[in-house]
Amino acid sequence: MMRILAGRFKGRSIKTVSSTSYRPTQSRIRKSLFDILGTLDGVSFLDLYAGSGIIGFEAASRGASHVTFVEKDNATIKLLHENIHNFENNFFSVQKQQALNFLKSCGVYDIIFADPPYKCAELEELVKLGRACINDSGTFILESKTGVELPESDDVRTYGDTQLNFWK
């Protein structure tokens, strides 16, 4: 279990499964991410490689008007739906699709967060497609292993072996 850190759903539990293949974003990194992003009132938020959905749920708690989760694993999607059912509002949608394919045909978002597996080979394409799907004042954020070679970003924050890369 993880807990939402702040906002209107602060303290609400989000189920995780320790034996799954995803890697939930640590709470200190989540706190830093949302401190950097600031207010999210009314934004559209895309959570790619969503896993438990903790990043998207945190975004909704902090004011995002809608969160889209993209995940391809059936067991993880089931977990996402279980977590969504714990919310009374309809802020959320789930897309069962590979993230790169979703980005090729999706609309535009205010904020896109991607947390692909550390061994993902298509990071450059992910950044290119993700940046194309943010609006003019939007932000694309990629969580990656520290030291991974990526296209130049506007900001990089490092937390041990994890880094957050920001493109505006």
How many residues comprise the chain? 168
Q: In the block, which residue shows the tokens 């990194």?
A: 29
Rg (CA), the chain: 14
Give the mean pLDDT per block of 10 residues along the chain (168 residues): 94 81 77 96 97 95 97 94 87 96 97 92 94 97 94 95 96
Residue 22 confidence (pLDDT)? 56
Domain assignment of residue 46, given as a range: 2-17+25-167
CATH of the domain at 29: 3.40.50.150
Residue 158 confidence (pLDDT)? 96
Cα–Cα separations (whole angstroms), residue 140 to 54, 102, 137, 153, 167: 17, 15, 10, 10, 5
Check if the beta carbon of residue 57 is closer than 8 Å to that of residue 49.
no
Residue 21 confidence (pLDDT)? 54
Domain tally for the chain?
A: 1
Residue 27 confidence (pLDDT)? 86
Supply the DSSP string of 28-75, one letter for each residue: HHHHHHHHHH---TT-EEEEES-TT-HHHHHHHHTT-SEEEEEE--HH
Residue 19 confidence (pLDDT)? 55
Helix (H), strand (E) at residue 99: helix 99-105
pTM: 0.94
